Structure 1
Amino acid sequence: MAEPFTAAATTVWRHGQASAGSRLVPEETAVAFTYGGSTQAVMMATPADLEDFAVGFTLTEGIAASPADILAVETIESDLGIELRIDLAEARAERLTARRRALAGPVGCGLCGIESLEEAARAAPMVAGGTVFEAAAIASAMTSIAALQAMNARTHAVHAAAFWRPGTPLGLLREDVGRHNALDKLAGALARAGLTGQGGAVLLTSRVSVEMVQKSARIGAALIVAVSAPTALAIRTAEAAGITLAAIARADGFEIFTHPERIRFAEPVEEGRHVA
């Protein structure tokens, strides 16, 4: 399998001086997800943790309901890219085939567009409540991400998605040039380890779009924390799914956009202070 990064020659211009240099940059290749001999999607991704990617994508996209629905994953490498052949349980394979038939129609019929819009706007599953997160512990967990980003330390060009439970060190972390891909890989790593997202948090080094909320909800995480801002639709989706969404995480804290009751502060929040 190809290395996830490669060295690139550069010309460095700093402080008014030019010099020859080099920098490690992440690889990006086409990765095709195929089920029953048919391609479902092609993603541009970093060629690492591909079995995690296959399992996570299959689960977060709702193609499989649980890891038990995924019978096998085969990785096929070629000059054009990488094919991930995912073997589904019979009932799930039949359901996917029926879904494809529903999308097949005359050109211009509008079915495909309608189905795509419905898929993009699908409601995220509700997450279980009950867990309370300490604000200081969240900040500490976010700070610890950088030390675990082995690929980013060498390339400075990839996103990370990590899973964390209160009272424990930062657990699994996955990296990719695509933020969605990193989250899918994390979902796959959790599933393959026999872990659920209940009682835990998804930590992101990227912005939060609606897809990131939908995928985190399928993982079962009650809290999402990100270094960048969320979109308006991501906020509405997190609110409806019962997810606490915190973003713009910096060394001095973060902002909470939904369900602030899940966060415990060292000091009471001042009356009238906007936290959600």
Structure 2
Amino acid sequence: MPSSDSAKPGTQTTGPTDYSYAELTQACATDAVILADECALAISYNGINHAVMMVSPSFVEDFIAGFSLSNALVEGVDEIYDIQLERSGDALSAQVTLSNRAFWALKEHRRQLAGTSGCGLCGVEALDQALPELEALPNSPLPPAEHLVELRQRIAAQQRLARSSGALHAALMVDAQGEISLCREDIGRHNALDKLIGALSHNPLDAQQGFAVITSRCSLELIQKAIRAGISTLVSLSAPTALSVQWARRYNLNLIHLPHHSSPRVFSPAPTRAPKQ
């Protein structure tokens, strides 16, 4: 298999990209930051589709080797004969050649494959499922800046399970008055948002009013979930990825990052003024 001592061509992005944002304050100051990149990676073993997941597109060969080892698909990296990568837009395809022993073991393993909370897209076997066409949301106003004041502290007070055990993500709904009305926790960040969406499905709260909050990093899968659920505004306590911002802007999802010690940053909709110099 290819050496992992350095990144191979096609496994890294062409370079970091600045993304502009506007502070959710009366001054509406604008600036730009570099956001992490991500893409959909489809892995095929000996010509058979196995999984699609969202990854950072650097050192992908190392990821595939580690994924194969940690999921017991191979007993050692010497059973990985070759990795061929091809990039197309926001997607990477990896054609992995395994030894005969590993390939036969893989067929048995596939019968037992279950999605994990970490990657969010394990088991999805087509890139068009990972990067689907969605229905754009109607344009919605941004929440008042005062509704985000001390939001981190208010979230901590709502996380009952995390207070006792830690290691839990949360997804919350803040209503039109700025009050936290729902909180769901889970060890998986995708699971937490799914729980919130499920709660909203049988709750009189309107997802178009107020906003949802996630305590985890904001990657593409969570953007897709919010859009499908009709949530108008998503607030993330961790910076979004570049692809998340692109999709939020494309489908009219208001996307706000709430840093620890700075004003809320509105990445979607895109600011209309140039960032300050």
Normalised to the residue count of structure 1, the TM-score between the two structures is: 0.52
1:199 aligns with 209
Contact kept in structure 2, 1:173 and 1:186, CA below 8 Å: yes
Written as runs of structure 1 = structure 2, the 5 A alignment for 1:129-140 is: 129-140=139-150
2:186 aligns with 176
- The answer to whether residue 164 in structure 2 is matched with residue 154 in structure 1 is yes
Amino acid at match of 1:177: I
Other structure's SS at 1:154 match: helix
Distance 1:178 1:132 in 2: 28
1:185 aligns with 195
1:13-61 deviation digits (Å, cap 9, x = unpaired): xxxxxxxxxxxxxxxxxxxxxxxxxx9x94456xxxxxxxxxxxxxxx9
Distance 2:173 2:196 in 1: 8
2:241 aligns with 231
Contact kept in structure 2, 1:198 and 1:221, CA below 8 Å: yes
Amino acid at match of 1:180: H
Displacement of 1:129: 2.4
2:229 aligns with 219
Contact kept in structure 2, 1:244 and 1:259, CA below 8 Å: yes
1 or 2, which has the higher helix percentage? 1
Other structure's SS at 2:264 match: strand
1:179-234 deviation digits (Å, cap 9, x = unpaired): 00000000001112244411221101011111100101122122111111111111
Contact kept in structure 1, 2:143 and 2:211, CA below 8 Å: no
Normalised to the residue count of structure 2, the TM-score between the two structures is: 0.52
- The answer to whether residue 245 in structure 2 is matched with residue 257 in structure 1 is no
Amino acid at match of 1:158: L
Other structure's SS at 2:212 match: strand
Distance 2:185 2:213 in 1: 12
Amino acid at match of 1:189: A
The structure showing larger relative contact order (alpha-carbon pairs under 8 Å, at least 6 residues apart) is: 2
Distance 1:131 1:205 in 2: 22
2:177 aligns with 167
2:48 aligns with none
Distance 1:177 1:117 in 2: 26
For residues 256 and 238 of structure 1, do their structure 2 counterparts lie closer, same or farther at Cα, with a shift above 3 Å needed? same
Following TM superposition, the consecutive aligned residue runs of length 4 or more in structure 1 with deviations greater than 3 angstroms are 41-45, 139-143, 271-274
Distance 1:187 1:239 in 2: 21
Distance 2:157 2:114 in 1: 31
Contact kept in structure 2, 1:204 and 1:226, CA below 8 Å: yes
- The answer to whether residue 143 in structure 2 is matched with residue 143 in structure 1 is no
Distance 1:249 1:220 in 2: 25
The percentage of counterpart residues that share the same residue type is: 31
Distance 2:134 2:223 in 1: 8
Contact kept in structure 2, 1:124 and 1:213, CA below 8 Å: no
Of 112, 127, 133, the residue aligned with 1:117 is 127
For residues 141 and 129 of structure 1, do their structure 2 counterparts lie closer, same or farther at Cα, with a shift above 3 Å needed? farther
Gaps of 5+ in 2: 1-110
For residues 252 and 140 of structure 1, do their structure 2 counterparts lie closer, same or farther at Cα, with a shift above 3 Å needed? same
Displacement of 1:120: 0.5
Gaps of 5+ in 1: 1-38, 46-60, 62-111, 262-268
Displacement of 1:272: 4.6
1:93-145 deviation digits (Å, cap 9, x = unpaired): xxxxxxxxxxxxxxxxxxx84xx200100133322224331122123444311
Distance 1:139 1:125 in 2: 31
Contact kept in structure 2, 1:123 and 1:237, CA below 8 Å: no
Aligned alpha-carbon RMSD (Å): 2.8
Displacement of 1:165: 2.2
Contact kept in structure 2, 1:124 and 1:237, CA below 8 Å: no
Task: State the aligned residue count.
Answer: 161
